[in-house]
Amino acid sequence: MKKNKSSFNLNNTGISLLMVLLIVLCFAIFAILSLKTAQDDYQSSKAFAERKASYYDACNSSEEALQLLASGDSKAAESKINEIDKKANFSYDNNVASWSIKFSGTQQLEVQASINSGDATISKWQTSTIGE
């Protein structure tokens, strides 16, 4: 006797739906991962940009302080340094000035310079990690 080939089997119901769900799940995982990676990259770039800006703020304040020291105004230089970091350890003895400005959570700019009339000779201009 000939068998009916197109006999319907209820067990096959839903396989296509399952396949679609699987494909969609893969798409969703890839999309979420790429978005998360892009967000993390952007956040890290922003943090880097902010750290750079803080570093150059510290450098600018140090340059202004050197200018003030060279013009003989050590008080103004100290207040300029303290404007950006109150714990800068500013010292000025025997025409040698030094300070360290904290510009990020773990980094500081250390400056040491000897001041002559009208100019300054920088002996130390170094970024270091706090605690080292």
Q: Which residue has the tokens 């170094």?
A: 126
Site for other proteins in 42-61 (CB under 8 A): 42, 45-46, 48-49, 52-53, 56-57, 59-60
In this structure, the strands spanning 96-102 and 91-93 are antiparallel
Map residues 65-94 to x or -, x wherever contact with other proteins holds by CB under 8 A: -xx--x------------------------
Smallest distance from other proteins to CB 4, Å: 10
What residue type is 132 in one-letter code? E
Of 11, 13, 94, 129, which lies in the binding site for other proteins, with binding defined by CB under 8 A?
13
Site for other proteins in 92-121 (CB under 8 A): 113, 118-121
Pick the closest to residue 78 from 65, 63, 59, 61 (CA basis): 65
| Euclidean distance between CA atoms 38 and 33, whole angstroms | 9
